[in-house]
Structure 1
Amino acid sequence: MGNIKIQPILCGGDLNCYSVARAFHEEYGVKSIAFGRYPLGATKDSKIIDFRIEPNITNEDMFVDILLDEADKHNDDEKLILMGCTDEYAELIIDNRDKLKTKFIVPYIDSDLKNKLVEKESFYEVCEKYGLDYPKTYIYNNGDETRDFGFKYPVIVKASDSISFFQHSFEGMNKAYIVNDEEEFNTIIKEIYSHGYEKSMIIQDFIPGKDENMRVLTCYSDINGKVKMMCLGHVLLEEHTPKGIGNHAAIITEYEEELMNKYKTFLEEIGFVGFSNFDIKYDSRDGKFKVFEINLRQGRSNNYVTSSGNNIARYVVEDRVYKKDLELKIQRDPFYWHVIPSSIVYKYVENKDLVDQCKKLEKEGKSASAFYYDYDLKGNFKRKLYIELYNINQKRKFKKYCK
Structure 2
Amino acid sequence: MSEPPAHASAPRAASAPRPVVVGGDIGAYATARAFHEAYGVRTVVLATLATGAVARSRIVDLRIVPDLADPDVLVETLRGIAAEPGGPPLVLGSADWLVQQLVAERHRLEDVLVVPYAPAPVVDAIGDKAELMARCAAAGVPHPATRVLVPGRDDHTGALVGYPQVLKAASTSEIHDVSYTGKAKVHLVHTPDELDAVLAAMAAARFSGRVLAQEYVPGGDDAMGAVNVFCAPRAGGGGDVTFAQLGQVLLEDHTPSALGNSVAQLTRDARAEPGALETITAVGELLREAGWVGFANVDLKRGPDGVWRVLEVNPRVGRSGFAVTASGYNVARMYVDAFGPRAPRADAGNSAAPTPHLELGVHEHLFTLVPLALLRRYLDPAQRRQVSALRRRGAVTNPLYYAAERDPRRWAYVVAAMVNQVRKFRRHHPWSRAGRTRAAQPT
Bucket of the pairwise TM-score, normalised by the shorter protein:
over 0.9
Q: Does 1:124 align with 2:128?
A: no
Q: Which runs of 5 or more structure 1 residues have no equivalent in the other structure?
A: none
User: 1:247·1:300 contact (CA, 8 Å) conserved in 2?
Assistant: no
For 1:81-230, list aligned pairs within 5 A.
Answer: 81-142=90-151, 143-170=153-180, 172-224=182-234, 225-230=239-244
Deviation of 1:267 (Å): 2.4
Q: Secondary structure of the residue that 1:124 maps to in structure 2?
A: helix
List per-residue Cα deviations over 1:137-161 (Å, max 9, x = no partner).
1111122223214211111111111
Q: Secondary structure of the residue that 1:109 maps to in structure 2?
A: coil
For 1:357-372, list aligned pairs within 5 A.
Answer: 357-372=386-401
Provide the identity percentage.
28
**2:29 counterpart letter in structure 1:** Y
Deviation of 1:197 (Å): 1.4
| Cα distance in 2, alignment partners of residues 47 and 169 from structure 1 | 36
User: 1:4·1:79 contact (CA, 8 Å) conserved in 2?
Assistant: no
For 1:16-27, list aligned pairs within 5 A.
Answer: 16-27=27-38
Deviation of 1:9 (Å): 0.9
Q: 2:295 aligns with which of 275, 281, 303?
A: 275
How many matched pairs?
397
| Cα distance in 2, alignment partners of residues 43 and 231 from structure 1 | 26
Who is 2:441 aligned against? none
List per-residue Cα deviations over 1:291-321 (Å, max 9, x = no partner).
1111111112121111011111000111222
Q: Secondary structure of the residue that 2:63 maps to in structure 1?
A: strand
| Cα distance in 1, alignment partners of residues 109 and 259 from structure 2 | 33
Q: 1:315 aligns with which of 296, 311, 334?
A: 334
Deviation of 1:241 (Å): 0.6
Q: Does 1:241 align with 2:241?
A: no
Deviation of 1:327 (Å): 5.6
User: 1:90·1:296 contact (CA, 8 Å) conserved in 2?
Assistant: yes
Q: 1:232 aligns with which of 226, 246, 258?
A: 246
For 1:246-261, list aligned pairs within 5 A.
Answer: 246-256=260-270, 257-261=277-281
Q: Secondary structure of the residue that 2:343 maps to in structure 1?
A: coil
List per-residue Cα deviations over 1:252-304 (Å, max 9, x = no partner).
111223233223322222221001111110011x3211111111111121211
Q: Does 1:336 align with 2:363?
A: no
| Cα distance in 1, alignment partners of residues 178 and 13 from structure 2 | 48
Structure 1 range deviating more: 208-217 or 2-11: 2-11
Q: Secondary structure of the residue that 2:166 maps to in structure 1?
A: strand
**Alignment TM-score, normalising by the size of structure 2:** 0.86
**2:105 counterpart letter in structure 1:** N
Deviation of 1:116 (Å): 1.9
Q: Does 1:30 align with 2:71?
A: no
Deviation of 1:167 (Å): 0.8
Q: Does 1:305 align with 2:334?
A: no
User: 2:165·2:188 contact (CA, 8 Å) conserved in 1?
Assistant: yes
Q: Secondary structure of the residue that 2:143 maps to in structure 1?
A: coil
| Cα distance in 1, alignment partners of residues 170 and 343 from structure 2 | 37
List 4+ stretches of structure 1 deviating above 6 A.
none
Q: Which runs of 5 or more structure 2 residues have no equivalent in the other structure?
A: 1-11, 271-276, 345-354, 431-443
**2:251 counterpart letter in structure 1:** L
Who is 1:55 aligned against? 66
List per-residue Cα deviations over 1:182-218 (Å, max 9, x = no partner).
2222221111221121111111111111111000110
**1:111 counterpart letter in structure 2:** A
User: 1:118·1:161 contact (CA, 8 Å) conserved in 2?
Assistant: yes
User: 2:23·2:94 contact (CA, 8 Å) conserved in 1?
Assistant: yes
Who is 2:20 aligned against? 9
| Cα distance in 1, alignment partners of residues 371 and 286 from structure 2 | 36
User: 1:319·1:326 contact (CA, 8 Å) conserved in 2?
Assistant: no
User: 2:38·2:330 contact (CA, 8 Å) conserved in 1?
Assistant: yes
| Cα distance in 1, alignment partners of residues 357 and 409 from structure 2 | 41
Deviation of 1:171 (Å): 5.1
User: 1:82·1:105 contact (CA, 8 Å) conserved in 2?
Assistant: yes
Q: Secondary structure of the residue that 1:222 maps to in structure 2?
A: strand
For 1:387-402, list aligned pairs within 5 A.
Answer: 387-402=414-429
User: 1:274·1:297 contact (CA, 8 Å) conserved in 2?
Assistant: yes
| Cα distance in 1, alignment partners of residues 109 and 137 from structure 2 | 33
**1:145 counterpart letter in structure 2:** D
Q: Secondary structure of the residue that 1:384 maps to in structure 2?
A: helix
| Cα distance in 2, alignment partners of residues 233 and 338 from structure 1 | 12
